[in-house]
Amino acid sequence: MNPGTKENIAAQLERLREEAFRRQDQLRRSPLPKIHIGLATCGIAAGALETKAAFEQTLAERNIEAHVHTVGCLGHCYAEPVVIIEHPESGFPPIFYHEVSPGKAKMLTKMFIEGGDPRFEHVYGATEVNDMIPSVMDFSRFNLEKRVIMDKCGKIDPDDIYEYIAEGGYTALAKALQKPRRQIVEEIKASGLRGRGGAGFPTGVKWEMALEAAHDEKIVICNADEGDPGAYMDRTLLESNPHQVLEGLMICALAVGAQEALFYVRAEYPLAVKTLGRAIQQAQELNLLGEGILGSAFDLKVEIFEGSGAFVCGEETGLIQSVEGYRGMPRHRPPYPVQKGLNDRPTVINNVKTLALVPPIVTRGSAWFRGIGTEGSPGTAVFSVVGDVVHAGLVEIPMGVTLRTLIFDICGGIPNQKGFKAVQIGGPSGGCLPESFLDTPIDFDSLTEAGAMMGSGGMVVMDEDTCVVNVSRYFLDFTQKESCGKCTFCRIGTRHMLRILDRLTCGTALEDDLDLLSKLAKEIKAGSLCGLGKTAPNPVLTSLKYFRDEYEAHLTEGRCPGMMCRPLTAFYIDLDACARGCDACAIVCPTDAIFTTSTRKKGIDQSLCVKCAECVVACPPEYDAVRKVSPASLAPIIERPDKPVSEDDEDAATGGTPPEPGEGGA
Amino acid sequence: MENDILEKEAAIIDALREEISGNYGNDRGCMIPILQRVQNALSYLPRDAIAMVAAHLGVPVSEVYGVATFYNQFRFNPPGRYPVKVCMGTACHVKGGDIILENFERRLEIKEGETTPDREFSIERVACVGCCALAPVALIGDEVHGHMAPSKVEGLFSRIQIQKEIEERKKNESGN
């Protein structure tokens, strides 16, 4: 590369930055109030679009000028829709409001934006430290996080490339363009970055292999085929800050010498596909993509391939098959995709989060990155923590933080004063860890050692009312359906495991089922080609290891300790608590399983009951008469009267028969 | 069921045939994008459309079926006017998503993956819709309904019924 080009690159970027700053200043220096609304899929699902409309409508009605600024997701799903209001004139710092319904939006417009009263009872916290309002940084949900991947998520408008540039975007690309390829690869290698897709393969090594592959046409692919049920960090990232991922992909292509790049995004993520498409288009318009990027000799064409939803396509070779137009069945490795991948060309496949980590590493250096996290797993990791936790959502933490800190300190622990039972990490390929593992540090090696795995970062917290067997069955049901069918062990083995688990959760298990289950699990792990089959038995194996007593309760007693397996539980109505003449439960019962007894109380017909627990909700708290038991045989049998008690009969009953002693008159 | 495609659909398939031969190549890598395009236009893949794609790519119909059935995105039954999607993500499962699915199935008297004979409703199970904090979640069309309960299922149908009646009335009024 000649030095003239180098200057050219820096100058071109500088021009873009100036324009970005000019635009940013317009917004930042504006004395008008600014309303930032998170509009990623999760926000929209919680009603953020209606909230936005309510703000806009009220502003228009009352003739108030303000900027309504759409941003991505902050990761605080428990608080959606999230709104941050900056109102410089009021004298208050920017304020974070949670669960802003359209009504709340109207009220805030009137009271705060127009009247200057921030309505303290609705404030969650100020976004910066100040003397007036406690800052959100005082909450551990905010201050224990370390954001590198999601640093700009929820702060910038994902649809405006200039906002990303103003925050320092594309400087890493410009820096990389001025370096020899080998040096970029060395930097990534030195950083110790490991693939965030789950397996944790060193990214630098992968890039080096691709760089050394002798082929003119190389290709890089961003794997955004996030199939793990309950994990949505890749989607959030693409919806909230697509440019960081795009920049990472471009640096990767530059480093390995590829001229083509591909985003493999699930078609189920329509908003992510749209946002990404717009990001690519904007980058092209600014000469950040296409031919002669930023005046250098580097050309890159980026396309989006919409994946059609097959979990196994998260596996590299399955993904390639799918892009080539075949069933997404993984093939044998070697040759690895970096040697012979898509259309036999060397192909580098990296996860969304891995690529999002590349620009910060290039900008701030590998030593900085090594300073975060642990020796073996440097950097940060993003988890989607869901299930029975108070502050569910996306959390980015440095590697090495313990599970206890993550679940109890950052995410607020278990709601409703319930006890902790287990945490399921890594989705269908991960494992279920009990309380004794809460002090395990979160990094690739420690989790694998414990029998779970990092996986894509899905984390389900379960309280004492959750059945581990049932959850394991759920994951196995998922992998069994998603098995591509190539390897016999995976195809048929998972089906048999599922059958055994079905028997366990229905109370029809056979004596040696548990031994058979663990034997099958081990054989499937050994006899499968790809990661799906190799890890599919993990949820069962770990739960069998740590929660064997629960499996045994299902097997021998037909009892579900978490009272979750419906065939093993029963509802009944405690006649001592039930109120005469009250119909609350009978009205809501979807199957008409609740009948009136001869004493005008209620009983449940066990043969009709589907155990939906609607009657528990409907029963007035002062009676609280519906009980749940396991095993089902514990429920007392209440006979349904042969002839339904009609209105006339009831009148006769009240007049005729005396009320039972101790229960008072009707 | 697969055979009785509507006249309207046959016309769309004809139009698609033109469009596809103009805009897409006939190499194997185009198969999935083409199928996505077809499903986008028709909301499902009727038999005639699959045959059309196979003819365009010059591969047997069975090959196209083989690929299409492998992926979750493709469906072979027409969706209803009100497609019901029940989230089966992990969080929804733990909070009883299967009970919600059962309630929809019972109410509509169809199983998941099917459409009511009048093509009004269809039921599908979907992977995480990404609002786990609202679990269990169901979607009707694009509208997300959080914190579902069996009695809410009934409520949703009443709401659709009311909406329909309002539309009907409006139509009649504008007609007069």
Q: Where do the domains of chain B lie?
A: 7-70, 82-175
**Terminal Cα distance for chain B, rounded:** 37
Question: How confident is the model at residue A643, as a pLDDT?
Answer: 67
CB contact under 8 A, B89 and A392: no
Is B61 near chain A, with CB under 8 Å? no
A-chain CB neighbours of B28 within 8 Å are: 324-326
Write the Ramachandran bin of A292: left for phi over 0, alpha for psi from -120 to 50, otherwise beta.
left
User: Which of A457, A451, A445 shows the shortest CA–CA distance to A375?
Assistant: A445
Q: Are A236 and A42 in contact (CB under 8 A)?
A: yes
Instruction: Identify the pLDDT of residue A111.
Output: 93
Q: B151 and A267 in contact by Cβ < 8 A?
A: no
Rounded distance between C-alpha atoms, residue A55 and residue A48, angstroms: 10
Sequence-distant (≥ 6) Cβ neighbours of residue A454 within 8 angstroms: A198, A200, A381, A425, A426, A430, A442, A443, A444, A447, A448
**CB of B113 within 8 Å of any CB in chain A?**
no
Taking domain B82-175, whether its CATH number is 3.40.30.10 is answered by yes
Amino acid, single-letter form, for residue A19: E
For the domain with range A569-656, which CATH number is right: 3.40.50.261, 3.40.50.720, 3.30.70.20, 3.30.310.10? Answer: 3.30.70.20
Whether B153 has a pLDDT exceeding 70, the answer reads: yes
Chain A 230-259, CB below 8 Å of chain B: which residues? Answer: 230-232, 235-236
pLDDT in tens, A398-425: 999 999 999 999 999 999 899 999 999 9
Q: Do the beta carbons of residue A76 and residue A89 sit within 8 Å?
A: no
Euclidean distance between CA atoms A149 and A315, whole angstroms? 22
How far away is chain B from the Cα of A447, in angstroms, using its nearest Cα? 20
DSSP character string of A219-263:
EEEEEE---STT--HHHHHHHH-HHHHHHHHHHHHHHHT-SEEEE
Parts of chain A belonging to CATH 3.30.70.20: 569-656
For residue A659, the 8-state DSSP code is P
CATH 3.40.30.10 segments of chain A: 31-138
Q: What is the CATH number of domain A380-557?
A: 3.10.20.600
Specify the DSSP element, H or E, that contains A9.
helix A3-28
The answer to whether the Cβ–Cβ distance between A308 and B36 falls below 8 Å is yes
Report CB contact under 8 Å: A474, B93: yes
CA distance B135 to chain A (A): 9
At residue A644, the pLDDT reads 61
Residues of chain A with C-beta less than 8 angstroms from the C-beta of B71: 308-310, 322, 328
Over A75-112, what HEC string results?
CCHHHCCCEEEECHHHCCCCEEECCCCHHHHHHHHHHH
DSSP code, position A562: T
Does residue B120 have a pLDDT over 60? yes
CATH number for domain A161-370, candidates 3.40.50.11540, 3.10.20.90, 3.90.700.10, 1.10.3720.10:
3.40.50.11540
Question: How many CB atoms within 10 Å of residue A321?
Answer: 23
Q: What is the pLDDT of residue B3?
A: 47
Which residues of chain A form CATH 3.40.50.11540?
A: 161-370
Q: Smallest Cα–Cα separation from A68: which of A20, A22, A100, A42?
A: A100
DSSP character at residue A373: B
User: DSSP letter at A113?
Assistant: I
User: Which ranges of chain A have pLDDT less than 50?
Assistant: 1-4, 647-666
Give the integer Cα–Cα distance in Å for A206 and B150.
50
Query: Within 10 Å of residue B159's Cβ, how many Cβ atoms?
Result: 12
- Other CB atoms within a 10 A radius of the CB of residue A512 amount to 10
- What pLDDT is attached to residue A2? 45
Q: What is the pLDDT of residue A337?
A: 93
**ipTM value greater than 0.85:** yes
A538-546 helix and A468-482 helix, angle to the nearest 10 degrees = 160
DSSP string, A412-456: ---STTPPEEEEEESGGGSEEEEGGGTT-B-SHHHHHHHT---TT
Pairing between strand A95-97 and A260-266?
unpaired
CATH topology of domain B7-70: Arc Repressor Mutant, subunit A (1.10.10)
**Statement: A31-138 belongs to CATH 3.40.30.10:** yes
Record: contact B28-A387, CB cut-off 8 A: no
Please report the pLDDT score of residue A666 as a whole number.
Answer: 34
Ramachandran angles phi, psi of A221, nearest 5°: -125, 135
Q: How crowded is residue A661: how many other Cβ atoms within 10 Å of its Cβ?
A: 6
- Helix residue spans in chain B (DSSP H): 7-23, 31-42, 47-57, 61-70, 90-94, 97-108, 150-175
Residue B135 has pLDDT above 60, yes or no: yes
**Strands annotated E in A450-490:** 458-463
pLDDT in tens, A322-331: 999 999 999 9
A504, A607, A616, A627: which is closest to A560 by C-alpha? Answer: A504
Tens-place pLDDT, residues B64-103: 999 999 998 898 988 889 999 998 888 888 888 999 999 9
Outline which parts of chain A fall under CATH 3.10.20.600.
380-557
